[in-house]
Amino acid sequence: MHNLHAVTIAIMAANVLVSLKGFNDNAFFDRYKFSIGSIKAGQKDRAITSGFLHVDMTHLFFNMFTLYFFANVVINWFGPGKFLIIYFISLLGGSLLALFFHKDEPFYSAVGASGAVTGILYAAILLNPDMPLQFVFIPVSFPAYALGIGYMVYSIYGMKSRLGNIGHSAHFGGAIGGYTTTLLFKPDLLVTETFIVVLLAIPIVILFALEKMGKI
């Protein structure tokens, strides 16, 4: 599983190189990070470039660590071309949802590959919902779909309570990107994995229902 495909290595290398540049060049970091005010002023490239910047080595490591474990699941099903499409749609989906929820906060900013990586994670969950996942230091395995639903519910809570210095909306937007693109590429999942598809859709419906009611 962990013999990485060249496309995964390329994505990881791009994240490492751009992040290292950002660590050592504040002007570069500030120019390419996600920034509501700057995007609304016309610098729309930030919606993509911000996904290759990270705050520090820990932030970078955890995103690449997650990608390391789940990229091959998606590549083995779809091939490297569709993997890249899912990755970048998820990245863009994370930025668009962050823009939607923070559009009236001109000083809101964010960085990280979390949206793209979360999209790959959710694509992998849809494709292999029963694969066992285990948290570090917790000797108990969970089916992948349970983690998926739990994480989306946690992201809703994080968005509602502004929990921590975390871009919950980008994570959620990335998950939606991975979820919808995977179903577009493999619509028979609607038949073969109907229960899982519906379960993973419930937090998405809840999020937009709460937004519509003005509760998030």
In this prediction, residue 28 carries a pLDDT of 98
* 159 exposure class (CB count in 10 Å sphere: 0-12, 13-18, 19+): buried
* 187 exposure class (CB count in 10 Å sphere: 0-12, 13-18, 19+): exposed
Q: What percent of the chain shows pLDDT beyond 70?
A: 94
Dist CA 95 CA 25 (whole Å) = 23
In this prediction, residue 208 carries a pLDDT of 87
Dist CA 182 CA 83 (whole Å) = 9
How many other C-beta atoms can be found within 10 angstroms of the C-beta atom of residue 59?
A: 16
Least confident span in 41-45, 145-149, 203-207:
145-149
pLDDT tops 60 at residue 164:
no
- Report the Cα–Cα distance between both ends of the chain, in Å, rounded: 39
Give kind and range of the element (H or E) at residue 84.
Answer: helix 80-101
pLDDT tops 90 at residue 169:
no
Token pair listed for 34: 């996600």
Token pair listed for 85: 């499409």
Of the two residues 114 and 157, the one the predictor is more confident about is 114
Per residue in 5-33, pLDDT (tens digit) is 999 999 999 999 999 999 999 999 999 99
Question: pTM of the predicted model, to two decimals?
Answer: 0.91
Pick from 104, 94, 117, 103: nearest CA to 48: 94
In this prediction, residue 53 carries a pLDDT of 96
Of the two residues 206 and 15, the one the predictor is more confident about is 15
Query: ∠ at Cα 105 (102, 110), nearest 5°?
Result: 65
Residue whose token pair is 């570069």: 28
Q: What is the CA radius of gyration of the chain?
A: 17
For residue 162, give every residue at least 6 positions away whose Cβ sits within 8 Å of its Cβ, in sequence order, or none. Answer: none
Dist CA 39 CA 190 (whole Å) = 36
